Amino acid sequence: MKISKQIGSDVILGLNCKNSILNSKNQITYLDNTKKFYTLIVKPSFGCSTKEIFSKVRKFGKPKLNYPSKKMFEISFLKKMNNSLEPIVFAKYNKLKKIKLFLENFSKPIFVRMTGSGSALVAYFLSKQRCNNAKKIFSKKYKNYWCIASKTI
């Protein structure tokens, strides 16, 4: 716990095997029996500078996860969510935008999101087979990019 806090406030979320939400007040809410997803995580051969991306933010949106509930893990809710840093990142790194469009169009995931300030992208699926097929196709087209199929726990 002590070390994870020194690295970043959200690191603790990856250490627990439960669905959880960290709100803007650094409070964690754990939720049971939520929807499970298969994910394809892709990472291009370049990174994005978090400092540079955040320096271009002109207005921060209101927090949407301050009052955690089980509905936050429902597909209809998740599909409406967005990463407000994507337009900034995609303006600088057009290649990331193309990768996201490729993932959305060829594999028909539930949705695709960029992680934080980039450069990784995650495609969410309900089917393990569809996720694995997406990985095969992505790996053939983007040979020099890292990708892995996984699932939520």
- Domain residue spans in the chain? 34-151
Phi-psi label, residue 21: left if phi above 0, alpha if psi -120 to 50, beta otherwise: beta
If one looks up domain 34-151 in CATH, what number appears? 3.30.70.890
Give the pLDDT confidence score for residue 121 in this predicted structure: 97
The Cα angle at residue 14 between residues 12 and 103, in degrees rounded to 5: 140
pLDDT tens-digit series, residues 60-113: 877 777 777 888 888 999 999 999 999 999 999 999 999 999 999 988 899 999
pLDDT tens-digit series, residues 119-136: 999 999 999 999 999 999
